[in-house]
Amino acid sequence: MALIAALQMAAGPQVQANLMEAGRLIKEAAARGAGMVVLPETFAMMGEDEADKVKIAETFGEGPIQTFISQQARKYGVWIVAGTIPLRSDNPAKVYAASLMYNAKGEVVARYDKIHLFDVVLSENQEIYTESDTTVHGKQPVVVDTPFGRVGMSVCYDLRFPELYRRLSEQGAQILLIPSAFTELTGKAHWEVLIRARAIENLCYVVAPGQGGYHTSGRTTYGHSMIVDYWGRVRDVREKGAGVVLAEIDLDALEQTRKTFPVLSHRCPKETTMQGTL
């Protein structure tokens, strides 16, 4: 069995301060035995507005944020999933929200660009989000072989699209990562139930680190970072504030459950027409 940690933060607009906090939490997670550490979405900066992330965008493979995560992975000998880092695109006004996975040597072994972008109106006067104004849609689901299991990558708003997770499970995912920055409003309504649903319907562990607290932009994020097992049981959770959520990943138990409760093998073939009769 392996230990995986989800880190909860309440990031602000200063990159260096956020990296210092991330470093503190990575150190704590490593000291507690975590082999993989997953940071939340936008861990390096929660700006005053969406355009701020474009100003700190890095070229893939270089830049202070990527260098910092690589160094932390080597320093503590852990795998690190850098929630999201803004990486440059061909459009100078837009970035990719890229989740990068580093091995214990500090090498990037996977990149997932957030596919579903948060363009919603929660309140006509206060909460309007248009992530696509500054972010390019990713296109490719990503599943990675790691020492901890086969990992499917995703980010935040992806959580609302079960078809993505079905594709990840079809590609053999055993662990689903969902680094997030859920709003307080939507988090209260849907966060836990969606995470547990993704775990149950795919018989996967779900590791969901989040932003959790008040941000200088005036936004409040929901927090409640959690790790949920393949049976939908919450193994650990942190409601608010910075901290470490930690749980064991037992792949033997997962695979035994899949064998005795073979829901995944009962899925109807794509060519099957689902028609009922009265």
Q: Which of 94, 114, 131, 204 is catalytic?
A: 114
C-alpha radius of gyration, the chain, whole number? 18
Question: Active site includes 62?
Answer: no
What type of residue sits at position 60? F
Question: Active site includes 156?
Answer: yes
Q: Which of 53, 131, 156, 184 is catalytic?
A: 156
CB-based contacts of 117-125 (< 8 A; 24+ apart in sequence): 117/157, 118/156, 118/157, 122/183, 122/185, 122/186, 123/185
Question: Active site includes 41?
Answer: yes
Q: Which of 41, 58, 131, 184 is catalytic?
A: 41
**What gap in Å lies between CA 244 and CA 178, rounded to an integer?**
15
Cα–Cα distances in Å, from 5 out to 19, 27, 51, 252?
Answer: 17, 11, 30, 19
**What gap in Å lies between CA 169 and CA 224, rounded to an integer?**
24
- The set of catalytic residues is 41, 114, 156
